[in-house]
Structure 1
Amino acid sequence: MVKKEREIALEILMERSDNHFIKTIYMRKMVEYPYLNTVQKAMIKRLVQGVAEREYTLDYVIRANSSLRLKKIAANVLNILRLSVYQIMYMDKIPEYSIVNEGVELVKKQKQFQAVAFTNAVLHQIANQKAKILNEISRLKDQKNWKVAYSFPQELIDLLLKEYSPKIVEKILAESLKEKPLTLRFITPDQQAAASVRGFLQSSKRIVGQGILFDRVCKYYGNIEQESIFQQGYLQIQDEASMLVGHLAAADQPKSVYDLCAAPGGKSTHLAVLLPDSQIMATDVSPEKAQKIKENKNRLKLANLQISVQDATLFDPEKKEADCVLADVPCSGLGVIGSKPEIKYRINQSAINELNQIQSQILEQAAKYVKNGGTLFYSTCTILSAENRLMVEKFLQKHPEFSLCSIADDPIFQGENAKQMEKNGEMIWQNQMLQILPQSLHGFFIAKLRKTL
């Protein structure tokens, strides 16, 4: 049966849960409905991500224009309203009458006949007052209204306000609603690859910018995985903040590297390219994620990269010590909400406490693999000190054999863009540890430790 984009988007929203992310469901649906073309897939992705990004805002608008409380509206009808209101407010190219009609038809397809008139009335009212509603939302600048204005849970706002000024927190919230392009890292082992990349850069209309910290990088909107240049292994998706780990680790020219929690393999593949004569060993607890690293390894033709399945919270006595160990631990992900909007609805203080235990366990085990004189990199894609600076400081108190290394004098941080990021407050140095706030790059944290002889 052929289904339209909005019907499939509704299926995705209805299937999401604490254990099932939109991205995973979306990928499965794209396989389930093979007749969808590129434009249709992009439409579905935009709809479900848009609802996830702005769910609190959409619910605020629906609540203000509904005769029923949200809890009284059937779940599928509420999600149809969210999809429709998102289109009315944030997708100008679609006529509003068409959005309303399709929303009503979708309610009928769901056999919610008692809700047809209600849906029609709510959507017509919102469509007729669109300009007024958008103006009202734009005026919700008071701190007490940030939850609605930026569609962000109050508990997380309060956590951020404990660490950052209101001005910085509002910037973080605003950035979380901005669509982020992919960052592509170039891999050019020979002249043919270099020529292909040059041709891609000159011809692609989807490139929207160059690298901020790195030269061999571009920003891209679209599904790059379908492009032949990606399939040939000349490009890898990886944010520049994440690239910093490989760049800094490679500076010491380690001969052996362990990358724990390595999926999807950005850091591992980066190091395998930077250190062709070194052995890079990537592990992940998930067989499915380890398979993803293998796919990237094969596509990029990296003979010096080995992959295995392992729980990073458990020590493997069979492993030899390595010159360098990367512990990019599971985290709250608050630095990448712009790309993964659902994260903000799943993270609370209880979840952070659980993550802290896992982070501490992984860091403890990672330290056991480091050779004397070797380095240990601890990194996350979040911006909370409990997961970052405080985690490292607690570790150092227990392990006097490790000490912090300065990374601020690396040439990458002496460039004009890095200095501007520091001036703007996006790049914060914390006793030789680096916290990047989500603005020019994704939010990220890096600490480099050395095991003393």
Structure 2
Amino acid sequence: MSANNKPTARSLAVQVLVANEKNGTYVDLLLENDTHVRTLASRDMALLRELVFGVLRNRSFLDLHIRNYIRRGYDTFDVKIKNILRVAFYQLLFLDRVPDYAVISEAVEQAKNTGTGSQAKLVNGVLRTFQREPWKPELSSAADLQEIAEYMSHPLWLVSRFVEQFGTEELLPWLKANNRIPVTFLRHLHAQEACMDPELQSTDFDGYFAMPAGLRLQMLKGWQTGRYIVQDPSAGLAVALLAAEAGERIIDLCAAPGGKAVALAKLVGPEGRIVAVEIEKKRLGKIHENVTRTGAENVEIVQADARTVELDAADAVLVDAPCSGFGVMARKPDIRWLRKPEDMRALLRLQRHILHNAAGLVKPGGRLIYSTCTTDREENEMMVTAFLQQHREFALESAGEFVPDRFVTERGFVRSWPHLHGIDGSFAARLVRRK
């Protein structure tokens, strides 16, 4: 706390990280719902987000540093003390603009607030020793998967799963990409119009602009007038693969936050219709926000379970399946720590049920697009292969006609990789129902 007892960005960062680690609540929700966070000035908000996301992207790398200065017992430390030390080490290692004395002073004060002087003494001793005797871990070329996982701040089970599916050649580039600060992309919904915000940066992706660091959405004329949505180009690949035509009726299952639904609404035009289906009430609100702000009047929002919803058959159905999120770990770094191996079975079962129900919502001759934001092969290629074996009325159509070749695999699926394409990892398949 500061002198006036108002939480600082650093103290709030520790608070958010503790709640994330202890309760399993995603940091996006914690930041969105905390009343103190909402009162922060924009500069302090930027620091808070830098600290929270920076620690999560580098958590076990920071722990390697801390353990070097603690003889034993770090694993048994209270989660708050761990995160006080992590936030402090992150600043000392990565943020030149924050004076070391300020970092150490506030970390010690936070430790005092835990109620024991010994904790404050420990924090002070560890940080002062690091100042005097800096140490940096090195990753040798002979490192095993455990060492790689710790150094690159990913759980061992996830690193092992990647190697089992894809081998070791792409492992380090993929891990490094997951630890970078991702670009925020805006999709221009009126591609025929010139961009009205010169601050935005052009990109290699048609219809997409990049947000410079420090620029707020509310400052943009195009945002205020509903010209843009926040959408990574990887998400746009599924929209392109669907190839919506004017006047079509399209069902978007698991539609929140509504970016794909809004983009499709522009493509089908006023004579077309998008039925956006979402089960969670709070996530429905996100769809409403995007639809209202962009003026997408041809979007119908339905609260229903994608596994069981009954609707009239559509020209196309988009399944934006709930998934592990392994393709967006740079953007949502806590996924790697909150997701557990035992979660995968339930996720795979959920995806199968949604796909099975979606099949019955497609007209003969229509398209079913299955898309995820994960790199995991079991959720992607293997899921589609199993579906086609059970649903002989569908056939895989190559993505080559609809998206750039660099995103098309040998089997005709869509894949994007953060380390190869500079965008989120994603997958999509175009399945056509026989007439």
Matched, 1:431 2:411: yes
SS for the counterpart of 2:251 is: strand
- The 3 A distance-change label for structure 1 pair 127 and 273 is farther
Matching of residue 306 in structure 1 with residue 307 in structure 2:
no
**Residue 452 (1) aligns with residue 434 (2):** yes
- Is residue 368 of structure 2 the alignment partner of residue 376 of structure 1? yes
Structure 1 residue 297: deviation in Å?
0.5
Alignment match, 2:399: 407
Task: Please give the alpha-carbon distance, in whole angstroms, between the structure 1 residues aligned to 2:297 and 2:142.
Answer: 53
Residues 241 and 155 (structure 1), Cα distance of their counterparts in 2 relative to 1, 3 Å cut? same
On the 8 A contact 1:389/1:430 being kept in 2, the answer is no
User: After superposition, what is the alpha-carbon deviation per residue over 1:18-73, rounded to whole angstroms, capped at 9, x for unaligned?
Assistant: 541111101112x4444311000111111111111111111111111113412332
SS in 2 for 1:431: coil
The amino acid of 1:279's aligned partner reads R
With 284-293 and 222-231 compared, the bigger mean Cα shift is at 222-231
* Whole-angstrom distance in 1 between the partners of 2:75 and 2:144: 26
Q: Which moved more, 1:99-108 or 1:321-330?
A: 99-108
**2:228 pairs with one of 224, 232, 235:** 235
Q: Structure 2: how far apart are the matches of 1:92 and 1:125? A: 19
Change (3 A) 1:216 1:156: closer
Alignment counterpart, residue 56 of structure 1, candidates 56, 60, 74:
60
Q: Which residue, 26, 35, 45 being the options, matches 2:31? A: 26
Q: Which runs of 4+ in 1 moved over 6 A?
A: none
Residue 296 (structure 1) shift: 0.5
Identity of matched residues, %: 27
Q: How does 1:122-137 map to 2 (within 5 A)?
A: 122-130=126-134, 132-133=135-136, 136-137=137-138
Structure 2 gap segments, 5+ residues each: none
Q: 2:114 aligns with which of 105, 110, 117?
A: 110
Which residue among 178, 181, 193 is the counterpart of 1:179?
A: 181
1:37 aligns with 2:41: yes
Contact 1:18 1:346 in 2 (8 A): no
1:215–1:142: structure 2 CA closer, same or farther, 3 Å change rule?
A: same
- The amino acid of 2:217's aligned partner reads E
Deviation at 1:226, TM superposition (A): 2.6
RMSD between aligned residues: 2.0
- For 1:359 and 1:377, locate their aligned partners in 2 and report how far apart those are by CA, in whole Å: 13
TM-score by length of 2: 0.93
Aligned length: 425
CA distance in 2, matches of 1:189, 1:142: 48
Work out which of the residue numbers 332, 335, 339 in structure 2 matches 1:340.
Answer: 332
Q: How far apart, in 1, do the equivalents of 2:424 and 2:46 lie? A: 22
Kindly provide the amino acid, as one letter, of the partner of residue 400 in structure 1.
R
Q: 1:148 to 1:189 in 2, by over 3 A?
A: closer
Change (3 A) 1:247 1:222: farther
Q: Contact between 1:185 and 1:218, CA under 8 Å: does it hold in 2?
A: no
Q: Secondary structure at the match of 1:159?
A: helix
Worse-superposed segment, 396-405 or 251-260: 251-260
Give the aligned partner of residue 273 of structure 1: 266
Q: Which amino acid aligns with 1:106?
A: Q
Asked if 1 retains the 8 angstrom alpha-carbon contact of 2:188 and 2:207, the reply is no
CA contact (8 A) 2:366 2:433 kept: yes
